[in-house]
Structure 1
Amino acid sequence: MSNTALLERPATRAVPSLRPLNPPREAAPAPAAPTPIAAPAPSALPPGAEARGFALYVGIDEQKAAASGVSLGVLVDALRRTLAELAPAAQTHATVALSPVGSGGRDVDVVRLALHEPGATARAKPEPDEEDVAGGGVVVDISRKRVLIDGESAAFTFKEFELLQYLVLREGRTIERAELVSSLWRNATDDDAPGERTIDVHVRRLRAKLGRYEDIVRTVRGVGYRFDRHADVVIRYGHGAPSPDRF
């Protein structure tokens, strides 16, 4: 029942309240000032590093969300709205973590492994697979950030691996050059970010290191690049399935 409704009732009827809900001539209390959040102590960061954001891993599946009357999409939207109110300048990116059915374990731990959070994957310490030690073809090991060609580790740069990984995780979809620039160089300044045509140079270097398997990265003329399922390629996702962009 609203305060207005209580005040508009006829005087002959008593209001069932122990005290006035809106005492007359009493100023409303001033809202409490937000508690300032202290920045992390310098000793908490490695020398020469700065904090640029954070990751919040949320462990909940659609069934548990539905039991609470929401969905994963609703939760993401609510968190984004809250963040926009608290820090309008913040940039956000959300992705969904996939895991094999019946994998067990705490939801949040499964999420951390599926999204390849460094601390979680380091503790898992997976053993090398037989195909990683010997054998032909290409092994793209997402969890360990490496590429094996005919059983030998390829000397990919960090950005070359990122480029191949971006295409692999979006198998079958043609990725435009502009998307590759905005996604792989999203933290670069305008001066440091490459032009769309510079992506062609990175792809040529990537293909040169793939050698006789260079055609696993396909060129879609006038559009961009694509990775399709290939008999000579094995993709290893570690303990989880790939985590596609969904939100």
Structure 2
Amino acid sequence: MSLATIERTPRTSFAPAIPAQVPARELSLAVPAARSIRTIVASAPTAPTEAPRLRAVPQGTEARGFVLYVGIDELTAAAAGTHLSAIVEQLKLLTKQLVPTAETHAAVALAPVGAGGRDVDVVRLALQDPSALAKHRQIEEPEEKAATGVTVDLSRKRVLVDDEPAALTHKEFQLLQFLILRESQTIARAQLIAALWSAEDDEAPNERTIDVHIRRLRSKLGAYEDVVRTVRGIGYRYDRHPDVSVRFASTPSPDFI
């Protein structure tokens, strides 16, 4: 599916051009047969304005909606006397006023604290905009070929160690992701059990279960096993690490609960 831009087609009039100061009157046009054709010339009629039309829509497709990327962080919004959720609600209300039957889906873009670049570019990249991703790959390609360390891709649910896929189980990835998203926080074993296991799970979890999963996770991280730290008597934590690159995903839409 591709995005389309909207342009307005300039109005076209097929009536002959008449100077504005010339009033409507009868004109006599000479013809070879020595007779004249009487033509009434009046002010040129105005063609009805055409509705905006879509441009660059591939054949066989149709426009079904649009995406508006907004680059605003919470501090900027607060400085303007508002917040992100209020802006989202106003945009949704405006859409409902214009088209009452329209459905909306909002997504908040998450990015590492201090990520460089323009806000709107960071948002497009975080929300997986195809053109932004393509541009990013072109920039990062030389570095990615010689990449070392750990790459945690939260959007694709995969981990690369020195550019090689790490065969993490679902629970091992969940543990790593849970700790990364709570960077610099010490997470107790009981909290990990409550967050990542449910009563329907076949495995009956306990603190020993957490230790086993963490040990297996570390073994698959190889030389970078220290990215998951043990806090004695409490649990585990993840601190920002120079050998770890995290690719963040967008949050679920707040439109649906």
| TM-score range normalised by the length of the shorter chain | 0.3 to 0.5
TM-score normalised by structure 1 residue count: 0.47
- Larger RCO (alpha carbons 8 Å, 6+ apart): 1
TM-score normalised by structure 2 residue count: 0.46
